[in-house]
Chains A and B, each alone.
Chain A
């Protein structure tokens, strides 16, 4: 155990609190993944893990290694920025794909209300059909 044992006590306590809080966030997100009944509700649970848990654990790790090696480490900040930037894109794309599948199968999802290019139109690369009245 060369890692956390060499830290001063105050820093070790802060690091452990950050890591414990982060993993608790991750566990709460996972419980939400299991217990929420519908897919569109389950889509919100990973936000807890990817924002709260990643930020807290990476901050704790950054503090630990900044004190151990005596210089600032940018790896953790890189991981935080990358995860926070990419998670909304991923979840939005997944939600759109799921909505498209549900609409093509005729499941009970809200219909489009605004005339505009739908996902199916965009997929087929054609112009949207205008409402004829």
Chain B
């Protein structure tokens, strides 16, 4: 009974994260300018990482951590590259 309740609460946390991702998706689609969309993409990366970590807690599989670490690294690099592109018009000079 207790375990069932706890699994439900993890699922509820995942629903909250999914709602957050939907709200950010609305901002990415609607966002008036390019920097809004890049900001939304950055937050979307972080939320996807958190979603992977909660999947890892639920299944007890430690492969999800490697994935979330890779997602964190890629999110940082891609946001930096996009911000540089906004500022200078090119990524690699």
Contact = CB atoms under 8 A, between A and B. Distances in A.
Interface in B29-44: 33, 35-36, 38-40, 42-43
B87 A97 contact: yes
B13 A22 contact: yes
Interface residues of A, number: 61
A33 B3 contact: no
B63 to A, nearest CB: 11
- Specify which of A7, A30, A45, A96 lies most central, judged by the most chain B CB atoms within 10 Å of its CB: A30
A86 B65 CA distance: 18
Contacts of B43: 29-30, 33, 45-46, 49-50
B57 A61 contact: yes
Interface string A51-85: 00110011011001100110001011011001100
13 contacts: A1-B3, A2-B59, A3-B57, A4-B10, A23-B20, A30-B19, A65-B56, A82-B73, A86-B72, A89-B76, A97-B83, A101-B35, A123-B87
Interface of A: 1-7, 9, 12-13, 15-16, 19-20, 22-24, 26-27, 29-31, 33-34, 39, 42-43, 45-46, 49-50, 53-54, 57-58, 60-61, 64-65, 68-69, 73, 75-76, 78-79, 82-83, 86, 89-91, 93-94, 96-98, 100-101, 119, 123
